[in-house]
Amino acid sequence: QRYRDPTAEEKMNPFAEQEAWEEHQIGKATLKFGSKNRKEKHDDFDFVFEDQIEFIQAAVMDGVNVEQNSIESVEESAAKSAFEKLQSDRKTLPIYPYREELLQAVHDHQVLVIVGETGSGKTTQIPQYLHEAGYSQRGKIGCTQPRRVAAMSVAARVSQEMGVKLGHEVGYSIRFEDCTSEKTIVKYMTDGMLLREFLGEPDLASYSVVMVDEAHERTLSTDILFGLVKDIARFRPDLKLLISSATLDAEKFSDYFDSAPIFKIPGRRFPVDIHYTKAPEADYLDAAVVTALQIHVTQPPGDGDILVFLTGQEEIEMAEEILKHRTRGLGTKIAELIICPIYANLPTELQAKIFEPTPEGARKVVLATNIAETSLTIDGIKYVIDPGFCKMKSYNPRTGMESLLVTPISKASANQRAGRSGRTGPGKCFRLYTAYNYYNDLDDNTIPEIQRTNLANVVLSLKSLGINDLLNFDFMDPPPSEALLKALELLYALSAVNKHGELTKAGRRMAEFPLDPMLSKMIVASDKYQCSDEIISIAAMLSIGNSIFYRPKDKQVHADNARLNFHMGNVGDHIALLKVYSSWKETNFSTQWCYENYIQVRSMKRARDIRDQLEGLLERVEIELTPNPNDMDSIKKAITSGFFPHSARLQKNGSYRTVKHPQTVQIHPSSGLAQVRPRWVIYHELVLTTKEYMRQVTELKPEWLVEIAPHYYQLKDVEDG
Ligand code: CDP
Ligand code: MG
């Protein structure tokens, strides 16, 4: 266990100032760890180094420093139109002095690796520079982002800077949302979307430049893109390829792209003081909240905002609640604290809030997931609170189980996080773990996603691109071969590939859907069971995750009753989701109805959008939209056609056992079947929290397994007793 319980004293007096902290100036910290770590210190804490200070000084003299800009008199800046202000802001970014040099390098080389601190202007400026230099006349300038929120927010920013309407010249494309038009010349998109574009345009002919941004994130899609863009660059000499990244391990990218030159944008970093806790924290969420309040109460307002790294939406909402509660208790004794959450599913209209300047006399506390580590830059942050965790996907290729677990971050992440506080002035980073933990327990780097994920989706996409020999695909870091085999096995079980590993007709249809293969298979199979109308509603509802029902603290009983209504007759979670959707549709998509039933109207609207798109895709794969609302068995059989590998059987002791690759699992308490416990179920996904839980569960007849997947189940698998 990395964390201890707080002492009684600490519990009583959360404001006991600095008690929990051991103040480590960078220099002090090293004395404790002997010579090995002293060396490490230089590798890890490169915050304060002479050359950077020199650079900052040089920048001040060149008149490109942000500080100088902000001294500008109030009247002057008010006189400028917002647009002019944006233009002059662009010139203060660290990348600006290198504009010409960069354009020259792009001109001279087909592939360029670009490295620069987060916030230096890579994402927002480089595509604009290229546009200004005329590249957009030859084709689109595409820029990929690992995260949807980043793609959207950066596109919005760049459209402002270019003075155009979002979706016109500048647009973005993320799964289930295309905000581009024929006019679009600068296109931000998730890496997964560019991957899908390869399916329709294998040489990316409509692009003149592709910038694979945030390359250091090494998401699965980014890693696959590396291989694909490297390949097309060979026969498209006119295509410019930029690989940009925030960390300094650019050599690896350069090596992979046949020794492509590296363009370094010198960063501006101010010194960052790192503080560690003396002993591990038992409850990092609480510790983070207490630390944020300590800073807020003890530091003068207006001297800087706070950024807290949490692992996900639930934690962020919880922290928000606690913060609100505690600051309310302090009343007017403290300055205003503006709480800004940011996570992947945060509604667009709330995202802009984090970029709004903090009003005078107040302080902003940004509660963020990893998204604020490198993808988004929020100005004005002076304090970073780093509990040391993130949510990370892991995959067991033997059992095929995927889980999303709260995991300690890597040293590289910890340093990125710390660096976020030193962008516009000296900063402080509070690590809610000990220096010993940092040096001894954290890995140096995060393992690339490709090595810890289910590859079925990617393998299906690659197969439909005609790439069959996956073992010899040019991976930067190859996935474990058993994970590749497992993916092929699943695709074979789903009849997406034949026994030679070639794509089948069903596989080709499945690849059209931007969904996991099991969901796509469920949709393709709904043709046979004549219930495609219901199945795409279920698929859309499953795609928005578990943010459909809400449960206000003071109305939990009402909310639970409303929810149980949809589960009447123990229909199972899939059918309950269908009932929610159809009932909402019957009210003509009424918002009022959502309120009355404790359903999030925003999630429902998103489900409707997704459903509309799935309906369009049905047409593309020539499946007729067929309603069959009363034939529950057909609907369940279609679901089973996609999800038969996820079957489980009730045990005598009340828990479940998965049928293939036996493992003990439970029905998630939020399921309508949690109390019912049918003998046989299929589930949508497994989530590991305190136990291994099945989420979204439906009862099935065991003989269906043999009927639907005779190649996968034998009679003996489904015999009771
Ligand atoms: O990509 P990189 O991290 O190098 O920087 P960037 O995302 O291009 O950000 C450059 C500047 O634009 C930052 O100082 C941000 O404050 C600003 N920006 C913004 O105000 N709103 C956004 N949605 C994105 C960037
Ligand atoms: Mg960026």
pLDDT tens-digit readout, 191-214: 999 999 998 999 999 999 999 999
Ligand 1: residue whose CA is nearest its atom 17: 377
Whole-angstrom Cα distance, residue 697 to residue 574?
7
Query: What are the residues whose beta carbons fall under 8 Å from the beta carbon of 493, sequence distance 6 or more?
Result: 644, 645, 709, 711, 712
Query: Do 105 and 112 form a contact (C-beta atoms < 8 A)?
Result: yes
Ligand 1 atom closest to Cα of residue 117: 4
Going by pLDDT thresholds of 50, 70 and 90, the confidence category of residue 460 is very high
Exposed, middle or buried, 281 (CB in 10 Å: 0-12/13-18/19+)?
A: buried
Q: How far apart are CA 162 and CA 131, in angstroms?
A: 10
pLDDT at residue 657 is higher than 70: yes
Q: Give just the sign of the alpha carbon dihedral 399, 400, 406, 410.
A: positive
Q: 374 alpha carbon to ligand 2 midpoint, in Å?
A: 7
Cα of 210 from ligand 2 centre, angstroms: 15
Indicate the top mutation candidate among 115, 118, 124 to test ligand 1's pocket, ranked by most ligand atoms within 8 A of CB.
124
Among 246, 355, 268, smallest CA distance to 305 is for 355
Closest C-alpha to 670, from 646, 689, 642, 645: 689
Asked whether the beta carbons of 682 and 640 are under 8 A apart, the reply is: yes
Give how far the C-alpha of residue 485 lies from the chain's centroid of Cα atoms, to the nearest Å.
Answer: 26
Ligand 1 atom at shortest distance from the alpha carbon of 120:
4
Burial of 551 (0-12, 13-18, 19+ CB in 10 A): middle
Instruction: Confirm if 445 and 410 have CB atoms less than 8 A apart.
Output: yes
Instruction: Categorize the per-residue pLDDT at 80 as very low, low, confident or very high, splitting at 50, 70 and 90.
Output: low
User: Separation of 377 CA from ligand 2 center, angstroms?
Assistant: 8
Cβ atoms of residues 186 and 158 within 8 Å: yes
If you compute the radius of gyration of the chain from its CA atoms, what whole number of angstroms results? Answer: 27
Closest to 458 (Cα-Cα) out of 437, 446, 475, 433: 475
| Mean pLDDT, residues 467-483 taken together | 91
Nearest atom within ligand 1 for CA of residue 154: 23
From the CA of 157, the nearest ligand is 1
Ligand nearest to the CA of 120: 1
Nearest residue CA, atom 21 of ligand 1?
A: 157
Contact 251, 104 (CB under 8 A): no
Confidence (pLDDT) at 8: 44
- CA-wise closest residue to 172 among 187, 150, 154, 158: 187
What is the position in ligand 1's atom list of the atom closest to the CA of 153?
23
Nearest residue to 240 (alpha-carbon basis) of 98, 151, 114: 114
Instruction: Answer yes or no: are the C-beta atoms of 329 and 342 closer than 8 Å.
Output: no
**Atom 8 in ligand 1: which residue has the minimum CA distance?**
121
CB 597 within 8 A of CB 560: no
Q: What percent of the chain has pLDDT over 90?
A: 67
| Share above pLDDT 70 across residues of the chain, in percent, rounded to a whole number | 88
- Which tokens hold the place of 146? 């690992």
| Residue 460 backbone phi and psi in degrees, to 5 | -60, -45
490/397 Cα distance (integer angstroms): 11
Beta-carbon contacts of 693 under 8 Å, excluding residues fewer than 6 positions away, are 665, 666, 667, 668, 669, 686, 687
> What is the tally of helices (H) and strands (E) in the chain?
31, 22
Ligand 1, closest atom to CA 423?
A: 14
Dump pLDDT digits (tens) for 369-380.
Answer: 988 888 788 888
- The C-alpha angle with vertex 168 and arms to 162 and 172, in degrees rounded to 5, equals 90
Pocket test for ligand 1, best of 98, 129, 157, 216 (most atoms within 8 A of CB): 157
pLDDT of 424: 81
Q: What is the pTM of this model?
A: 0.82
Q: What are phi and psi of 344, to 5 degrees?
A: -55, -40
Nearest CA to ligand 1 atom 15: 377
The closest alpha carbon to 380, from 411, 424, 417, 348, belongs to 424
Confidence band (pLDDT; 50, 70, 90) for 74?
low
On whether the CB atoms of residues 666 and 660 are closer than 8 A, the answer is no
Most confident listed range (374-378, 425-429, 536-540, 601-605): 536-540
CB-based burial, 327-362: b 16+ in 10 Å, e otherwise = beeeeeeeeebebbbbbeebeeeebeebbeebeeee
For residue 272, the CA-to-ligand 1 centroid distance in Å is 20
Taking the C-alpha atoms of residue 625 and residue 638, their distance in angstroms, rounded to an integer, is 14
The pLDDT tens digits of the residues spanning 85-96 come to 999 999 999 999
Atom of ligand 1 nearest to the CA of 375: 3
Return the pLDDT at 247: 76
Using the mean position of ligand 1's atoms as its centre, give its distance from the Cα of residue 171 in Å: 16
- Whole-number Å distance, alpha carbon 154 to ligand 2 midpoint, is 8
Q: In the predicted model, what is the mean pLDDT of residues 594-601?
A: 93
Q: Please report which helix (H) or strand (E) contains residue 87, including its range.
A: helix 82-90
Ligand nearest, relative to CA of residue 354: 1
- Is pLDDT of 70 > 60? no
Cα–Cα distance between 211 and 719 in angstroms, integer?
Answer: 55
Taking the centre of ligand 2 as the mean of its atom positions, its distance from the CA of residue 123, in whole angstroms, is 4
Ligand 2 centroid–CA 74 distance in Å is 30
Q: Whose CA is nearest to atom 24 of ligand 1?
A: 154
Ligand 2 mean position, distance from CA 664 (Å): 43
What span, in angstroms and rounded, lies between the C-alpha atoms of 688 and 401? 10
CA of 542 to the centre of ligand 1 (A): 33
Kindly tell me if the per-residue pLDDT of 388 is higher than 80. Answer: yes
Q: By the 8 A CB rule, do 266 and 94 touch?
A: yes
Burial, 70: exposed, middle or buried (Cβ in 10 Å; 0-12, 13-18, 19+)? Answer: exposed
Which atom of ligand 1 is closest in space to residue 124's alpha carbon?
Answer: 8
Ligand 1 cavity residues, CB under 6 Å: 93, 116, 118-125, 153-154, 157, 355, 377, 379
The number of CA neighbours under 13 Å toward the Cβ of 149 is 22
- pLDDT exceeds cutoff 70 at 529: yes
If 0-12 CB within 10 Å is exposed, 13-18 middle and 19+ buried, where does residue 55 land?
middle
Q: Residue 401 pLDDT > 80, yes or no?
A: no
Half-sphere CA count of 273, side-chain side, radius 13 A: 13
Lowest average pLDDT, out of 98-107, 178-187, 413-422, goes to 413-422
Among 579, 613, 614, residue whose Cα is nearest residue 599 = 579
